[in-house]
Amino acid sequence: MTEMQDIKYHKFMGLRIIYQDINNQDSYRLGVPTIYLGGAFQSIQNVQNYAKSSSQYSRTIMVDLLGFGDSDILDSSYKMELLADSIDHLIDAMGFKKVNIVGTSYGAVVAYILAGKSPEKMNKLILGGFMDQFNPETLAKWEDGLSYAKKACRKEFAEKLAALLLNKERSKEVRLQNYISTMMVRKLTGATYAELDKFIFSIERLMNNRKSFPVPQCHTLMLTGEFDIFTTPAHHKKLHDRSPNSIFTLIEKADHMFHLEQLEVTTQLIETFLSGGDITEINGHYLSKNRRQKVATPQPA
């Protein structure tokens, strides 16, 4: 697979959703396609390592959600539910009966909403760095960061965001944190006005998310870094406890940006879970205390 091949677009409510459809084999080990929904400050260009890994065993669709990457901008007056509806619409347009969905950070919220609204379309679900609603302290930090973005003070905005997403107190333990922090600040410092608007609208939409959605009933893997201070392990544990078919694990030497800090462990967990294997055989993570026994997920449909 060459980088960024198979780029297409889907129209929803007159808006373009950019996606990458990797379907380069006559047959795949998994008969169910896998859709990836990334974080607010990433695009499909940034997650090509995941595309390369996933496309070896599953038809893979990497999506720039509305308001992200090269997809059309979406005003913050539109709610998170609309993003889930847009992916639901894409699934129908592509003729898929069931899908696996992998959502990280912002994309995990969209995936969670979609799984609750359209459970009949869900085969398996992976939620990484997930938060359904923010506490007042986190909301205040978002507001502080946005105040700089709205004044186009890019450097200050970038530094505020890095402090919110990265656990600086564990910088010596978190793999690649300094590199990721530098790249994050560099990207946001160099953002265009159009990109800043996308960031602002996307964050405001997430902050304004107040509606509760049904808990996904499909087999679900929840994961984040053991040092995540943004979508904390304690919060994931609460979500896990009320999700009947979920497994929850923590990735070692990682924080909220675990999918970049521990790429190999994350890709192994995704493949093994979607394939119905035993994730306890994978090094570099540990399961929630009440689920430390062997966990083998059912074979995919």
Both tokens assigned to 261: 């800090």
Residue 241 has pLDDT above 60, yes or no: yes
Residue 258 has pLDDT above 70, yes or no: yes
User: Residues 5-57: pLDDT tens digits?
Assistant: 689 999 999 999 999 999 988 889 999 999 999 887 788 988 888 999 999 99
- pLDDT for res 300: 43
User: Residues 197-238: pLDDT tens digits?
Assistant: 999 999 999 888 877 788 899 999 999 999 999 999 998 998
User: Residues 122-148: pLDDT tens digits?
Assistant: 999 999 999 877 888 888 998 999 999
pLDDT band at 4 (very low <50, low <70, confident <90, very high): low
Domain residue extents for the chain = 7-133+211-291, 136-205
Half-sphere exposure of 280 (CA within 13 A, CB side): 11
**Over residues 84-102, mean pLDDT:** 97
| Chain mean position to CA 241 | 20
Strand partners, 16: 11
Q: What is the CATH number of domain 7-133+211-291?
A: 3.40.50.1820
| Chain mean position to CA 177 | 18
- pLDDT for res 290: 47
- pLDDT for res 79: 93
Residues in CB range of 267: below 8 A, 6 or more apart: 49, 50, 53, 54
Structural element, H or E, at residue 6? none
Residues in CB range of 101: below 8 A, 6 or more apart: 34, 35, 36, 37, 87, 111, 114, 115, 122, 124, 125, 126
CA angle 111, 139, 36 (to 5 degrees): 20
DSSP E strands in the chain: the ranges are 7-12, 15-22, 34-37, 60-63, 99-104, 122-128, 219-225, 246-251, 285-287
- pLDDT for res 5: 67
Single-letter code of the amino acid located at 260: L
**Over residues 241-247, mean pLDDT:** 90
Largest Cα–Cα separation, the chain: 51
**Over residues 270-287, mean pLDDT:** 96
How far CA 147 is from CA of 141, 151, 154, in Å, comes to: 10, 7, 11
Single-letter code of the amino acid located at 18: I
What's the whole-model pTM score?
0.91
